[in-house]
Structure 1
Amino acid sequence: MDAAPDDVFIDEISFPATDGYALTGTLFLPRGAKRHAVLINSATAVPRKIYRGFASYLAHRGCAVLTYDYRGIGDSRQPAMVGYNQPKSLVGFKASMSDWAAQDVTAAVRWMRERYTTLPLAYVGHSFGGQALGLIANNTEISRAAFVASQAATWRLMTSPEKYRVFAFMNLIGVPLAHALGYAPGWAGIGADLPKGVFLQWADWVSSPRYLFDSKLPALENFAKFKGELRALCFSDDPWATRPAVELLTGGFSAIKPEVLTVKPSDVGAKAIGHFGFFRPEHRDTLWRGVAEWIQGE
């Protein structure tokens, strides 16, 4: 884990989702003047801790930054009543990806906007975190959004042979497991454990030609509300967030003209980046700096 700079103050916090559910987050603050506020929104089944280094870097540059876990993930998963530091079972836990957006992401945006009323509010979305921007009604509060490997994740737009592995896993292993166990276990290869409703909605979207755009969600109307600046990064060695998949997602923001940039690992002196590599500290002076300067309008 990347150590925080000495000039960054880190505070573990809790804040309520729109329905009152307690979400856990980490606030990264510069010890000097705050010039921007930034909300980092996680990928599916990814605890917020992987964003710690990047959040510290942004705070070092004068940003007030919040990372947080969606309900049922990381520290926003309820603890067990018995057993030392054990998470409560997700069996029977009610949540979906659209709930994450409507109740958790919406609340995080509101919390940051209410706390930092005079600062421009930027939004960093990793994978699902970018998708959620289009589903929240208060995305009008965001001045700039930076997407990192964020896509309309239909299996059809993934690279071969990964696309066939994903389709087979989701439908032949993941869905039956979620029904049998009452949740989707992380040991099956998805990262963290996922609530059953989250995984089943995710599998349905992945199996649909246009991902979440083929759903009947009323919240899809919020895509057209976003009027801020949007830059989306895709990486040439990422089998999931391919450029066509990134363009399918960003194309949903009909009121603006999003900017999509493709980065090759060789462009930044790396051997690989993939779906998660952006957040490795080795990219501090390349990828991190580029996104930070864009967020801060430099």
Structure 2
Amino acid sequence: MGAARDDVFIDEITFPATDGYPLAGTLFLPRGTKRHAVLINSATAVPRKIYRGFASYLAHRGCAVLTYDYRGIGDSRQPAMVGYNQPKSLVGFRASMSDWAAQDVTAAVRWMRERYTTLPLAYVGHSFGGQALGLIENNGDISRAAFVASQAATWRLMASPEKYRVYAFMNFVGVPLVHALGYAPAWAGIGEDLPKGVFLQWADWVSSPRYLFDSKLPALENFAKFKGELRALCFSDDPWATRAAVELLASGFSAIKPEVLTVKPSDVGAKAIGHFGFFRPEHSDTLWRGVAEWIQGEWCVSG
């Protein structure tokens, strides 16, 4: 997660989703002048704490940064009525991936836009976090978006043999298990527990040839509303967010021409990066710096 920096102030906050549901967040602020505002949007089943090091790094560079948990995840999961510091069961908890976008991500963008009215607002999306940008109605408030391993995650565009494992798990293990238990358990290998509706919608999208673009969500029309700059990073050793999958997601932003860059681990002196490795602190002088400079309008590299 990375050590806290002396020149960064960290504040644990709660803010309401569009329907009033309380979302837990962490605000990272530079002790000096704020020059940019940045919202970091999580991958599926990933708590905000894994983005702490990167958020602190951005704040060190003069950004006001917010990380947060979607409903049902991390600290945005309701506590149990009994027991010490135990989360409430997700059985019966109503949420879907489209709810995360419409109610949680939309509210996070609004909160940052209202709080930092004079600063350019950038959006960092990891995996689902990038997908959500196209689904929210207020994506016009974003001036720049940086996607990290964010893709149209149909199993067909994943690397072999991972694609077959994912298809089999989703359809023959995950879906029956979720129907039996009423939620998706972390012990099945998905990261954190997931609400039933989130997992079932995710499984449906993964099984569809064009992922979420094959759904009939009215919110898909919001992809065309985004007119900011978009840079999407994919990593050559990531079996999920392959170049083809990243390009498919990027193609949904029809009003702009997104830039897709492929990074090899050897490009940054690493042995592996994969789907989550970008957020490891050893990349602070390479990957982190590159994204930060681009967010702040200082990096102009084609690839």
Q: TM-score, normalised by structure 2?
A: 0.98
For 1:260 and 1:168, locate their aligned partners in 2 and report how far apart those are by CA, in whole Å: 29
Q: Deviations over 1:256-284 (max 9, x none)?
A: 00000000000000000000000000000
Query: How far apart are residue 61 of structure 1 and its match?
Result: 0.1
The answer on whether the counterparts of 1:39 and 1:124 sit within 8 Å (CA) in structure 2 is yes
For 1:3 and 1:78, locate their aligned partners in 2 and report how far apart those are by CA, in whole Å: 28
The answer on whether the counterparts of 1:7 and 1:31 sit within 8 Å (CA) in structure 2 is yes
Q: Deviations over 1:227-279 (max 9, x none)?
A: 00000000000000000000000000000000000000000000000000000
Query: How far apart are residue 225 of structure 1 and its match?
Result: 0.1
Query: How far apart are residue 199 of structure 1 and its match?
Result: 0.0
Query: How far apart are residue 5 of structure 1 and its match?
Result: 1.1
Q: Deviations over 1:138-188 (max 9, x none)?
A: 000000000000000000000000000000000000000100000000100
Secondary structure of 2:45's counterpart equals coil
For 2:206 and 2:252, locate their aligned partners in 1 and report how far apart those are by CA, in whole Å: 16
Q: Give the match for residue 42 of structure 2.
A: 42
For 2:160 and 2:126, locate their aligned partners in 1 and report how far apart those are by CA, in whole Å: 22
Quick check: 1:213 aligned with 2:213? Answer: yes
The answer on whether the counterparts of 1:17 and 1:23 sit within 8 Å (CA) in structure 2 is yes
Q: Deviations over 1:44-78 (max 9, x none)?
A: 00000000000000000000000000000000000
Quick check: 1:204 aligned with 2:204? Answer: yes
For 1:230 and 1:181, locate their aligned partners in 2 and report how far apart those are by CA, in whole Å: 39
Percent identity (aligned) = 93
Secondary structure of 1:80's counterpart equals coil
The answer on whether the counterparts of 1:96 and 1:195 sit within 8 Å (CA) in structure 2 is yes
The answer on whether the counterparts of 1:149 and 1:235 sit within 8 Å (CA) in structure 2 is yes
The answer on whether the counterparts of 1:19 and 1:103 sit within 8 Å (CA) in structure 2 is yes
| Unpaired stretches in structure 2, ≥5 consecutive residues | 299-303
For 1:15 and 1:180, locate their aligned partners in 2 and report how far apart those are by CA, in whole Å: 33
Secondary structure of 1:27's counterpart equals strand
Secondary structure of 2:138's counterpart equals helix
Q: How does 1:238-253 map to 2 (within 5 A)?
A: 238-253=238-253
For 2:47 and 2:129, locate their aligned partners in 1 and report how far apart those are by CA, in whole Å: 12
For 2:177 and 2:61, locate their aligned partners in 1 and report how far apart those are by CA, in whole Å: 44
For 1:157 and 1:4, locate their aligned partners in 2 and report how far apart those are by CA, in whole Å: 38
Q: Give the match for residue 287 of structure 1.
A: 287
The answer on whether the counterparts of 1:235 and 1:241 sit within 8 Å (CA) in structure 2 is yes
The answer on whether the counterparts of 1:7 and 1:30 sit within 8 Å (CA) in structure 2 is yes
Displacement over 4 Å in runs of 4+ = none
For 1:203 and 1:186, locate their aligned partners in 2 and report how far apart those are by CA, in whole Å: 15
For 2:6 and 2:109, locate their aligned partners in 1 and report how far apart those are by CA, in whole Å: 27
Q: How does 1:1-298 map to 2 (within 5 A)?
A: 1-298=1-298
Query: How far apart are residue 4 of structure 1 and its match?
Result: 1.6
For 1:142 and 1:2, locate their aligned partners in 2 and report how far apart those are by CA, in whole Å: 27
Secondary structure of 1:130's counterpart equals helix
For 2:195 and 2:285, locate their aligned partners in 1 and report how far apart those are by CA, in whole Å: 37
For 2:116 and 2:82, locate their aligned partners in 1 and report how far apart those are by CA, in whole Å: 39
Q: How many residue pairs are counted as aligned between the two chains?
A: 298
Secondary structure of 1:125's counterpart equals strand
| Unpaired stretches in structure 1, ≥5 consecutive residues | none
The answer on whether the counterparts of 1:236 and 1:265 sit within 8 Å (CA) in structure 2 is yes
The answer on whether the counterparts of 1:234 and 1:262 sit within 8 Å (CA) in structure 2 is yes
For 1:114 and 1:160, locate their aligned partners in 2 and report how far apart those are by CA, in whole Å: 44
Secondary structure of 1:72's counterpart equals coil
For 2:132 and 2:178, locate their aligned partners in 1 and report how far apart those are by CA, in whole Å: 23
Query: How far apart are residue 210 of structure 1 and its match?
Result: 0.0
Secondary structure of 2:5's counterpart equals coil
The answer on whether the counterparts of 1:4 and 1:57 sit within 8 Å (CA) in structure 2 is no
Secondary structure of 1:137's counterpart equals coil
For 1:152 and 1:186, locate their aligned partners in 2 and report how far apart those are by CA, in whole Å: 23
Query: How far apart are residue 29 of structure 1 and its match?
Result: 0.1
Q: Deviations over 1:174-207 (max 9, x none)?
A: 0001000000001000000000000000000000
For 2:159 and 2:128, locate their aligned partners in 1 and report how far apart those are by CA, in whole Å: 18
For 1:173 and 1:9, locate their aligned partners in 2 and report how far apart those are by CA, in whole Å: 44
